[in-house]
């Protein structure tokens, strides 16, 4: 079974540019989550999709961040325009249902804004 796949693994962009991160969840997982770890701090929740619907987007930092999940399959997280403080590692996770088992993380996208 393929795991959660994230693209790209690394991205370096200039302040003010736009970046789009992609996450392909495990096939059949209705739940998809985005988290990020900034500057070696804790991993923080950004949002939760159930199929194509946003179940909880309380962790999105501001309106420069836009997440979509077309057709309930893969998801994208767009940052526009990027700021220096957006640098960090963005993790995607997916799960088939509630509970921690089956809650699988991708390897993350390391975003560096210069």
Burial class (CB in 10 A: 0-12, 13-18, 19+), 40: exposed
Does position 28 bind other proteins by CB under 8 A? no
DSSP structural state of residue 26: P
Q: The tokens of 108 are what?
A: 């993350």
Q: The tokens of 22 are what?
A: 């992609």
Residue selected from 42, 62, 63, 70 as contacting other proteins according to rule CB under 8 A: 42
Residues 52-111 that bind other proteins (CB under 8 A): 55-56, 59, 91, 93, 95, 98-101, 103-108
Residues 111, 102: Cα–Cα separation, whole Å: 26
79 vs 92 by CB, closer to other proteins: 92
In the complex, which residues of this chain contact other proteins (CB under 8 A)? 4, 9, 31, 33, 35, 40-45, 48, 55-56, 59, 91, 93, 95, 98-101, 103-108
């Amino acid at each position: 079974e393929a795991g959660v796949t994230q693209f790209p693994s690394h991205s370096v962009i200039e302040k003010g540019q736009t970046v789009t991160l992609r996450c392909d969840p495990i096939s059949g997982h209705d739940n998809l989550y985005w988290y990020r770890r900034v500057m070696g701090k804790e991993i923080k929740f950004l949002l939760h999709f159930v199929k194509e619907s946003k179940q909880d987007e309380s962790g999105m930092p501001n309106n420069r961040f836009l997440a979509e999940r077309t057709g309930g399959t893969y998801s994208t997280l767009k940052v526009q325009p990027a700021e220096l403080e957006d640098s960090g590692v963005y993790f995607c996770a997916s799960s088939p249902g509630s509970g921690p088992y089956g809650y699988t993380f991708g390897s993350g996208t390391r975003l560096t804004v210069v």
